[in-house]
Amino acid sequence: MILAACESTAPPPPRDATKEAWYGAAVEELTALNRDAETAFASGKPDQAAALIEKGQPVMARILTAAQPTLAAAIAASDLDQLYGRMLLQNRHYGWARLLFQKNLARWKHWQPPTADSARRLQQAEDAIAECDRHIVE
């Protein structure tokens, strides 16, 4: 009985959120919201694009809670931040835009394993930050 009391049981391993049914559906939802927001922005409907971006924020937060988000989730989150940053840049909110581009820079700089797409996205973030910096000093 004393030995049984000293025995410790390890807690169960945390669940992998990326394996849950809701995860894939949430990534698809965010991807669709990004596509619709990009279309609205390109069509000169910034208010509609902003509403879609706002709707995507909690979805993005939820999928990024996974210990190791999937590549599809990282891409969807990156696309949302990139579009929002572009909108802020267009509206001369350079500091806020830079912050979003920095999130993408960190996301892709440390992505493992590196791919051609992650390198392209990293370069895109660096270029966007440089553009913000040019405008900030004006």
**Domains of the chain: which residue ranges?**
20-136
| d(C-alpha 12, C-alpha 109), whole Å | 32
Question: Could you count the other beta carbons within 10 Å of the beta carbon of residue 22?
Answer: 11
Task: Identify whether the C-beta of residue 83 lies closer than 8 Å to the C-beta of residue 48.
Answer: no
Tell me, what's the pLDDT at 5? 53
Tell me, what's the pLDDT at 13? 66
Tell me, what's the pLDDT at 15? 84
Which parts of the chain register pLDDT below 70?
1-10, 12-13
> With the CA atoms of 60, 62, 66 and 70 taken in that order, what torsion angle do they form, in degrees rounded to the nearest 10?
-40
Tell me, what's the pLDDT at 14? 74
User: What's the pTM value of the predicted model, to 2 decimals?
Assistant: 0.87
